[in-house]
């Protein structure tokens, strides 16, 4: 079983659709992250959950709504997205939450999202 | 503001050595990470430096100078499979990871 899995790998949606991205980690980690990756831009941190509680929300529009039902699963609910939201959405996990120095984040393969 | 600078793209020859530089200006420092990301795949962890000096792991080495706000990733005996993007990231004083835009490395036969 690979460490961090994400589904779907590809998603095309219209601006009026509602969809959800799923992430699952099999590493026994306590923290999970959502990132947005756009071409030739740095990774943008969207949300951080530590022990199932949201600890960071970096000014992300409300059309993105995270959910963390337990320490192994993380969802990103999407609704009324804009074409500029098209990007690769990466999920990551780490043993500890923010506040630790050498804590390594392990990434899933991402969901390639296209908003028409 | 906080900033991480890396070259956008580099080209090297199979079997050669390449050095990818990363300079940073951040509010504080709590370690620097290098990740490798093949096209369409997850970033994978390569190295972590928190003290000055060189860390070697097989064909890959990472160097850090905190006084200069500078790191490099050294790849030796390049293989075609090393073609990928290499991401530099720094943890600032709040333990936030600040990411560079990545360096796309192209390996030619």
Averaged confidence pLDDT in chain B: 95
pLDDT tens figures, A49-66:
988 888 877 789 999 999
Residue A101 is nearest to which of B30, B41, B100, comparing CB atoms? B30
Picking from B34, B99, B1, the residue whose alpha carbon sits closest to that of residue A42 is B99
Residue B41, classified by CB atoms within 10 Å of its CB into exposed (0-12), middle (13-18) or buried (19+), is: middle
Rounded to a whole number, what is the distance in Å from the CA of A23 to chain B's nearest CA? 13
pLDDT at A100 over 80: no
> In sequence order, which residues have a C-beta less than 8 Å from that of residue A59 and are 6 or more positions away?
none
- From CA B26, how far away is CA B23, in angstroms rounded? 10
CB atoms within 10 A of CB A9: 12
- The answer, for B24 touching chain A at a CB cutoff of 8 Å, is no
Mean pLDDT value of segment A71-77: 96
Phi, psi (rounded to 5 degrees) for A83: -55, -30
pLDDT for the residue B33: 96
For residue B8, give the chain A residue with the closest CA.
A40
Query: pLDDT digits over B39-54, tens only?
Result: 988 999 999 999 999 9
- Count how many pairs of residues, chain A against chain B, have C-beta atoms within 8 Å: 50
% of chain A at pLDDT higher than 90: 77
**Is B41 at the interface with chain A, CB within 8 A?**
yes
Question: How far apart (Å, rounded) are the C-alpha atoms in residues A88 and A79?
Answer: 16
B residues 49-88 closer than 8 Å to A (CB) = 50, 87
**Among A9, A22, A21, A3, CA closest to A93:** A3
């Amino acid at each position: 079983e690979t460490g961090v899995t994400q589904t779907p790998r590809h998603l095309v949606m219209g601006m009026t659709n509602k969809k959800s991205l799923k992430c699952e980690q099999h590493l026994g980690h306590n923290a999970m992250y959502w990132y947005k990756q756009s071409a030739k831009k740095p990774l943008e941190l969207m949300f951080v959950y530590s022990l199932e509680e949201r600890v960071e929300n970096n000014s992300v529009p409300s059309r993105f709504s995270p959910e963390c039902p337990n320490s192994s699963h993380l969802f990103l609910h999407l609704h009324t997205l804009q074409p500029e939201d098209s990007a690769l959405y990466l999920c990551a996990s780490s043993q500890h939450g923010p506040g630790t120095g050498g804590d390594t984040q392990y990434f899933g393969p991402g969901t390639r999202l296209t908003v028409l | 503001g906080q900033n991480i600078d890396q070259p956008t793209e580099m080209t090297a020859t199979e079997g050669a050595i390449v050095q990818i530089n990363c300079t940073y200006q951040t509010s504080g420092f709590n370690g620097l990470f290098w990740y490798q990301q093949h096209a369409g795949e997850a970033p994978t962890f390569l190295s972590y430096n928190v003290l000055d000096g060189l860390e070697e792991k097989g064909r890959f080495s990472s160097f850090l100078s905190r006084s200069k706000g500078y790191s490099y990733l050294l790849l030796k005996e390049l293989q075609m499979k090393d073609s990928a993007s290499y991401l530099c990231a720094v943890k600032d004083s709040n333990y936030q990871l600040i990411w560079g835009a990545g360096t796309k490395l192209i390996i030619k036969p």
